Amino acid sequence: MTNIVRRASRALLLLAIVVTSFSLLLLATGHAPLRAITAMIDGAFGSWYQFTSVTLVRATPLAFTGLAVSLAFRAGVLNIGAEGQLIAGAAAAAALASQLTEAGAVAIPSLIVAGCFAGACWAAIASWLRARFGVLEVISTIMLNFVALNVVGWLVRGPLQEPLRIYPQSPTLPTSLQLPVLLPASRLHVGVTGAILLAIAMWYWLSRYASGFRVRAVGANPFAAETAGQIRVGKVSAQMFVLSGAIAGLAGAVEYTGVTYALYENFSPGYGYTAIAVALLARLDMLAVLGTALFFGALDAGASAMQRDAGVPNVVVNVVNAMLILAVLAADRWRYRHIPLEHGT
């Protein structure tokens, strides 16, 4: 109960910080804070349709990629490539969809599996570079993000371009291959339930199983894990790196089959990068990722309404996102520096 109260207090404090900093930023840029914040709230939660078809739909890929980043960070792997792995997953799903002549019972699952496989392979490249040549995964994954973007640009102008060769995108996905809609008269698809179930499963695995403990041990202190715990740190890190990529690839496949129904350039508006903020704000807690993904999904959904109704540019929300990350990192740094004092050491 104490832990729940502490988390609730922390969430309220964070909300107060966000509202205050956002208001000050709006004032500094010459905008009316009340009008802008009201427009943002209406855009994210103003109606049942807005909440289900915009906020939750945008929160779903953030939840998947947030889980991917959290898992990698838990294992001590700085996977900054969720964006590229998501794009690779979407491209693989689109490529397989173009080869399917009929939709059977396994058609949609096969697209999802293809996305997971492509994301895993994309992460495996950086994992191999790290293990074989000592290349920092921060550098390799960022570079692979740009490679994925350019590969998709070539695909939608070449092998996967729609039949008329007019638009740089893949053919529209047939209805029979699209994810089922979860609620009538909405755009909310079953992918959101997959994100929730995956978060619960990952939390349970990390907290209750020996293999999950090994992952947490490697991330907490790889030297102690290897010497005292007899854990093969390199193997665990590589496995979690690839699994993280598979989850990010899953996000791309779900976005393709549940939302966009086509592959095109700039397929992702930056879900993989926002996922870093989602994971850090959740403190790498798999269940908390669902809440932070919803929070950033609401910010994203409300930003469009804020720009339309209050004339506030979308980039203001990006500034708020950056400020949130800095605030979380600073709070963690302060907390760790004061832990010895609390114990009288």
Mean pLDDT of 70-93: 97
Q: What is the mean pLDDT of the chain?
A: 90
Residue 336: predicted pLDDT: 59
Q: Is the pLDDT of residue 50 over 70?
A: yes
User: Region 6-32: what's the mean pLDDT?
Assistant: 78
Per the model's pLDDT, the better-predicted residue between 221 and 345 turns out to be 221
- Would you place residue 322 in the very low, low, confident or very high pLDDT band (cuts 50, 70, 90)? confident
pTM as predicted? 0.91
**Which three-class secondary structure state does DSSP give residue 169?**
strand
3-class DSSP state of 227: helix
Q: How many CB atoms lie within 10 A of CB 172?
A: 11
pLDDT exceeds cutoff 90 at 320? no
Q: In terms of DSSP H, where are the helices of the chain?
A: 2-28, 33-45, 48-50, 56-74, 82-97, 107-133, 137-155, 191-208, 210-220, 222-227, 233-255, 271-281, 286-310, 315-342
CA neighbor of 285 nearest in space, from 11, 83, 1, 81: 11
Q: What percent of the chain has pLDDT over 70?
A: 93
pLDDT at residue 81, as a whole number: 97
Q: Within a 10 A sphere around the Cβ of 101, how many other Cβ atoms?
A: 4
Please report the pLDDT score of residue 2 as a whole number.
67
Question: Who has greater pLDDT, 214 or 10?
Answer: 214
Q: What are phi and psi of 264, to 5 degrees?
A: -150, 170
pLDDT tens digit sequence for 221-271? 999 999 888 899 999 999 999 999 999 999 999 999 999 999 999 999 999
CA distance 14 to 8: 10
Model confidence at 28, pLDDT cuts 50, 70, 90, reads confident
The letter for the amino acid at 239 is Q
- Phi then psi for residue 189, to 5 deg, are -105, 175
What amino acid is encoded at 206 in this protein? Answer: L
- Which residue in 56, 89, 136 sits closest to 247, CA to CA? 89
Report the pLDDT value the prediction gives residue 342, as an integer from 0 to 100. Answer: 41
Average pLDDT rounded to a whole number, residues 6-10 = 71
The C-alpha atoms of residue 27 and residue 95 are separated, in whole angstroms, by 48
User: What are the angstrom distances between the C-alpha of 216 and each of 65, 124, 166, 295?
Assistant: 19, 20, 50, 26
Instruction: For 131-187, write each residue's pLDDT tens digit.
Output: 999 999 999 999 999 999 999 999 999 999 999 999 999 999 999 999 999 988 899
Residue 165 has a pLDDT of: 93
Level-2 CATH architecture, domain 2-342: Orthogonal Bundle (1.10)
